[in-house]
Chains A and B, each alone.
Chain A
Amino acid sequence: MEYDENGVSIVSNDFKKEIFEEAKKDFRYEEYVRGCLNCGVCTGGCPPHRFFDFSPRMVLQNCKSNDPALVWGMMDEYVWACFQCFTCAMICPFLNNPGGVIAILREISVRRGFESAKKVLKPYSRVLLKLTAYGNQLSPDMIQPDFFPDWGPHIGYASEDLPLKRKAIPMPTLQVTNLAWDVAPEAMKELYTIFEEAGVFKIIEVVDPSLYEIIQDIVDDVRSE
């Protein structure tokens, strides 16, 4: 994929239009995009706005512009800056939902396997693997400096001597570091059914085909138990 000077992937105008139409066809779009006073109250309350060049006001304005190029401009890095906290929706005087619009755009990006989606979701492959293998989202052994830089300067210390630290926790634990709690196989099987019905497996197949293969092996194993 080629990129312009703003880091936005270069595609044809027809493709930009197609993506914008797909967003507008989403059943939530009409509810999320109403009018916009350009007041900036959403952006004022938006946590990432303090750190990045990202603004829910611009999300709404770009949508209202009806210009597919402006909407496409958000599909790469931009949509992934949002925390999905929905502060914007809580305070917008027009009852818009910029965070909801972001969710719609992200879903398109994931469904279509865009590069930005693949890149952003990469770190989550460990979580997905853990989830499908053990029904746990996070376990102590996943705490590693490379993956949790946002935990601050103490992450190095936090990730050392895990078995010992586990023992020091003054409440019953499983005394292992690869599990937080035990999940029954029945629950796991139900989880797979939900994943199947909700299209989660299909998404994984698009975004990370090799992860999909590993996960399918695990699913088959558990199901045949």
Chain B
Amino acid sequence: MAENILVIGGGPAGLHAAIELAELGVNVSLVERDTFFGGNPKKFKYKYLFPDLQPAENVIGELIKGAESNNNIKKYLSANIESFKEDGKKFSAVIKSSTGSETKTFDSVIVATGFEHFDPAKDSKYSYQLFDDVIDIKDLERMMGEGNFTRPSNGKPPKNVAIILCVGSRDRHVGNQYCSRVCCTVSVKQAIELKEHFPETEVYIFYMDIRTYGFYEDLYWKAMEEHDVQIVKGRVAEITSGPDNTVICKGEDTLLRGPFEIPFDMVVLASGMEGGPQSPEMADKLGIELDEHGFLKQANVTLSPFKSNKDGIFLAGACTGPKAIADAILEGGAAAMDAYIYAKKNS
């Protein structure tokens, strides 16, 4: 008899896990709370992905197709886990979706509920939602995905754009001490895309540290070498309104200029990633642990990063911390292997 495995969350991690398991002949139940699969990249219409600027459709579209065309995967959209309990070595869950409630028994479970974007309105110094031309990376990602690179206030091309890193990350005031890992690379990628679209636009990146780790560094170099993106070391302290419908970024250029107040046509806040409300919700429902950063806790961050602290429940993707799509997919595969082994042993 085939194994039954529950995958919660239909983003890159969950989709890949579901497909791998289905290929092994497992009966997979894939539960997604949204009306579509694809996770955050789909929700915010990412168009081109770092590091190689390939169309997001190549990756996300492929994963969705793979899951949708596989008959071993039972797909639940607009769905959630209504109740969950252990049943010996197995698990019993009630899945509620638009088609009603279903109770099922599973041999193992993969949680891939992902992340939420930090809401920059929570940090008042950035004046997000106060000025139309102050947006964040997910807004810009969506705008660019829709082919729109212009200023929200008047629809005109921006003369200059400031990109501010580490918004909602590495900051005890907002409660997130960790680095969100991808926002530096996303921002450098967006700077390049902006410059490719509007070569005349001046693009500034205000940073504390540029963390384009590993090969992502190539994009950082490209931004400077080929697009003359201005990289300024200093965190912006305040955003106020300026003359001629501009917004003024005020801060310290710690290496060159000292104090600055520069009017910009557009400001992009590189808001970070958070565990979101779904992480505590999963911890609560499934009886697994949260870590001190608000993400789901790995049994051992080095030895068994795909295991939760409960046998038979596995973790994949951004639900355990900020990461790139490649990492999320990798973890989906690894968690699928762990979940398969557990199911095989106990079914």
CB proximity to A under 8 Å, residues B212-261: 233-238, 250-254, 258-259
Contacts of B259 in A (CB 8 A): 43-44, 49-50
Q: Which 4 A-B pairs have the closest CB atoms?
A: A44-B237, A44-B251, A40-B252, A45-B237
Residue of A nearest to B236 (CB): A44
CB pair B173 A95 closer than 8 Å: yes
Residue of B nearest to A94 (CB): B172
Give the complex CA separation of A57 and B259 in angstroms: 12
Q: Can you identify 11 A-B contacts, CB atoms within 8 angstroms?
A: A37-B208, A38-B208, A39-B235, A40-B252, A41-B234, A41-B251, A43-B259, A44-B236, A44-B251, A49-B258, A92-B173
CB pair B170 A93 closer than 8 Å: yes
Residue of A nearest to B207 (CB): A39
CB pair A41 B170 closer than 8 Å: no
CB pair B251 A40 closer than 8 Å: yes
Contacts of B171 in A (CB 8 A): 93
Residue of A nearest to B250 (CB): A44
Give the complex CA separation of A93 and B179 in angstroms: 12
Contacts of B252 in A (CB 8 A): 40-41, 43-44, 49, 55, 57
Contacts of A142 in B (CB 8 A): none
Quick check: is A91 within 8 A (CB to CB) of the other chain?
yes
For residue A86, give the distance in angstroms from its CB to the closest CB of chain B. Answer: 13
Residue of B nearest to A93 (CB): B171
Give the complex CA separation of A57 and B250 in angstroms: 15
Residue of B nearest to A55 (CB): B252
Contacts of A93 in B (CB 8 A): 166, 170-173, 235
For residue A24, give the distance in angstroms from its CB to the closest CB of chain B. Answer: 22
For residue A41, give the distance in angstroms from its CB to the closest CB of chain B. Answer: 4
CB pair B172 A95 closer than 8 Å: yes
Give the complex CA separation of A40 and B234 in angstroms: 5
Using a CB–CB cutoff of 8 Å, the interface residues on chain B facing chain A are: 125, 166, 170-173, 208-209, 233-238, 250-254, 258-259
For residue A32, give the distance in angstroms from its CB to the closest CB of chain B. Answer: 14
Residue of A nearest to B251 (CB): A44
Contacts of B233 in A (CB 8 A): 40
Contacts of B251 in A (CB 8 A): 40-41, 43-44
Residue of A nearest to B232 (CB): A40
Contacts of A41 in B (CB 8 A): 234-237, 251-252
Give the complex CA separation of A55 and B253 in angstroms: 12
CB pair B238 A44 closer than 8 Å: yes
Residue of B171, B209, B250 most packed against chain A (CB within 10 A): B171
For residue A151, give the distance in angstroms from its CB to the closest CB of chain B. Answer: 25
Beyond known contacts A40-B253, A43-B251, A91-B173: 10 more, CB 8 A cutoff: A37-B170, A37-B209, A39-B208, A44-B236, A44-B238, A44-B250, A45-B125, A45-B238, A49-B252, A57-B252
For residue B220, give the distance in angstroms from its CB to the closest CB of chain A. Answer: 18
Residue of A nearest to B165 (CB): A39
Residue of A nearest to B255 (CB): A40
Give the complex CA separation of A87 and B172 in angstroms: 15
Contacts of A42 in B (CB 8 A): 237
Residue of A nearest to B209 (CB): A37
Give the complex CA separation of A91 and B233 in angstroms: 17
Give the complex CA separation of A39 and B209 in angstroms: 9
Contacts of A57 in B (CB 8 A): 252, 254
Residue of B nearest to A88 (CB): B237
Give the complex CA separation of A28 and B275 in angstroms: 34
For residue A160, give the distance in angstroms from its CB to the closest CB of chain B. Answer: 37
Contacts of A94 in B (CB 8 A): 172
